[in-house]
């Protein structure tokens, strides 16, 4: 244990480890906040679909060798999010099918495009690291970290200011509309923020595992807490704890970061289930 602690201190000297921890904690916090709403609104799969869209956009931006790929990925994902939540509102099945379609479609096109046009010698390696985020979190630049901090602060501010309205549209959309509140606008904002969070978390866990970051903390929190506010706070704590533990473990034992974080989240979920059963 002592040896591990020293090793931890040793790694903390490096800026890339500190960057990874900052980005990890912030994206985990943001994704868990919105996760509660998405799970309760039965939109768990939106995260999955959007992350694949983000992957497709990333593939395209790689071909064009864009200097800042986020500039392309962000708008594309936001538009996809708006499109998905729009169709989901009217009929559930259509929304479901739309997500599935977009999700696999973007994945296939992304891979195809990469395969056809990529100049890189190691395509499979590139694809693997985008999908599973194997090393990207440890290679963050200062600018990327700054961008992540700004975005996260925006997301958290949005969530706090709109908290009561988010609760209202999550619990009962029709009622909220009937009191003259613009529920459509809130839904739209939720969609946009979800897209932002997904693009942010691509660095952390890669695009295949983002859903885990969104749904696991929320589901775990729902097992143990009964109030909405409590679930939001608990899910944020669980998510940050999972991300911190996951990143540190992955550094100490040289395991893939994204998968380790998700594995920690799964463990926390089973622990919460157990606690929920006992109490």
Residue 157 and residue 152: Cα distance in Å, rounded? Answer: 8
Least distance (Å) between residue 97 CB and other proteins: 19
The number of residues that bind other proteins (CB under 8 A) is 30
74 binds other proteins (CB under 8 A): no
Per DSSP, 175 falls in state H
Per DSSP, 225 falls in state -
Residue from the set 33, 168, 191, 247 that interacts with other proteins by CB under 8 A:
168
Binding mask 83-122 for other proteins (x = CB under 8 A): ----------------------------------------
Contact (Cβ atoms closer than 8 angstroms) between residue 77 and residue 198:
yes
| Of residues 250-279, those binding other proteins (CB under 8 A) | none
Phi, psi angles (nearest 5°) of residue 109 = -60, -45
Binding mask 214-253 for other proteins (x = CB under 8 A): --------x--xxxxxxx----------------------
181 binds other proteins (CB under 8 A): yes
53 vs 84 by CB, closer to other proteins: 84
Kindly list the distances between the CA atom of residue 254 and the CA atoms of 135, 138, 227, in Å, as whole numbers in the listed order.
10, 11, 38
Contact (Cβ atoms closer than 8 angstroms) between residue 200 and residue 222:
no
**Hey, how many other C-beta atoms are within 10 angstroms of the C-beta on 267?**
15
Q: Which stretch binds other proteins (CB under 8 A): 3-11, 26-34, 58-66, 164-172?
A: 164-172
CA 127 vs. chain centroid, Å, equals 18
176 binds other proteins (CB under 8 A): yes
Q: Which of 202, 216, 223 is CA-nearest to residue 273?
A: 223
178 binds other proteins (CB under 8 A): yes
83 vs 162 by CB, closer to other proteins: 162
Q: Which of 53, 73, 60, 74 is CA-nearest to residue 114?
A: 60
86 vs 181 by CB, closer to other proteins: 181
**Hey, how many other C-beta atoms are within 10 angstroms of the C-beta on 143?**
10
Contact residues for other proteins, defined by CB under 8 A: 40-42, 160-165, 167-168, 170-172, 174-181, 222, 225-231
């Amino acid at each position: 244990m002592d040896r591990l602690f020293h090793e931890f201190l040793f790694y903390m000297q490096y800026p890339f480890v500190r960057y990874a921890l900052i980005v990890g904690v912030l994206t985990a916090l943001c994704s868990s906040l919105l996760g509660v709403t998405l799970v309760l609104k039965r939109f768990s799969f939106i995260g999955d679909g959007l992350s694949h869209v983000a992957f497709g956009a990333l593939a395209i931006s790689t071909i064009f060798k864009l200097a800042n790929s986020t500039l392309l990925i962000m708008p594309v994902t936001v538009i996809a999010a708006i499109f998905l939540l729009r169709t989901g509102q009217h009929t559930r099945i259509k929304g479901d099918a739309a997500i599935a379609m977009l999700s696999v479609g973007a994945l296939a096109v992304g891979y195809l495009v990469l395969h056809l046009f990529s100049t890189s010698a190691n395509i499979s390696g590139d694809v693997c690291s985008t999908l599973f985020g194997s090393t990207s979190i440890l290679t963050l630049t200062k600018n990327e970290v700054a961008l992540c901090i700004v975005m996260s602060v925006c997301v958290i501010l949005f969530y706090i200011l709109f908290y009561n309205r988010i609760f209202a549209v999550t619990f009962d959309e029709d009622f909220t509309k009937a009191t003259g509140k613009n529920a459509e606008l809130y839904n739209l904002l939720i969609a946009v923020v979800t897209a932002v969070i997904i693009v942010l978390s691509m660095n952390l866990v890669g695009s295949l595992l983002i859903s885990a970051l969104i749904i696991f903390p929320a589901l775990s929190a729902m097992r143990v807490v009964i109030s909405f506010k409590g679930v939001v706070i608990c899910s944020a704590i669980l998510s940050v704890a999972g991300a911190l533990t996951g990143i540190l473990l992955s550094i100490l034992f040289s395991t893939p970061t994204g998968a380790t974080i998700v594995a920690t989240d799964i463990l926390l979920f089973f622990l919460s289930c157990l606690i929920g059963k006992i109490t």
